[in-house]
Amino acid sequence: MKINKIGFLFLFIIFTACKSSFCSREKKILYTNPDSPARVLKISDKKDSLLLRKPSKDVRKIEKNKDLEQLVKKLYLTMLEENGVGIAAPQIGINRNVFLFYRLDKEEKTVELAINPRIISYSPEFICFQKDGCLSVPDKYGASRRYSWIEVEYIDQNKKKVTHKFLGGSRTEDYTGTIFQHEYDHIQGKLYIDKPCKSN
């Protein structure tokens, strides 16, 4: 089958539109009611589930990126509205490697931004984290298998590269590392229900 130059260009645009920058579908999510929370995607909805299960891509342009700034704003408003301890971009329909998480290891319990995060090392042992829950899996809780510590790299809200070691732990301890792993799973297209475990 022959494809003329215009047809090839059209196909190229279709397949690359959302790869390097925010595409029109994503911008619609970001800028429709820009000062309001976004709708959280649910695993129970077939279309939502396809997006939640899709691995995300890195943000290439970080400096002076208004779309990225709007994404962070939307994530923050949505996390507050839903009373979460973290939220990832895929949960509002944006498949980018971006999430927010609470720094429970800090006295002031600040919210931190992670852009293009990586887990660079992790513990050889696991913990079974009890009562894990997710805004995209409403009204359900379960135990999930997590590393007891992780060392990570990411770019924070100050556009600085951060390298840090986070602990896992139970809900009565510092479990920042568990929150990070939960949100990191989202950008991999995974959910806590994919990592069930049984406590001894």
Q: Is 183 labeled as catalytic in the residue annotation? A: yes
| Per-residue pLDDT at 198 | 86
Query: 72-101 burial, b for 16+ CB within 10 Å, e for fewer?
Result: bebbebbbeeeebbbbbbbbbbbbbbbbbb
- Report domain extents, the chain: 22-194
What stretches in the chain show pLDDT beneath 50? 1-17, 20
Q: What is the pLDDT of residues 158-183, one digit of tens each?
A: 999 999 999 988 888 899 999 999 99
Class of domain 22-194: alpha beta
C-alpha angle 144/107/38, rounded to 5°?
A: 60
What pTM value is reported for the model? 0.88
List the catalytic residue out of 26, 151, 173, 183.
183
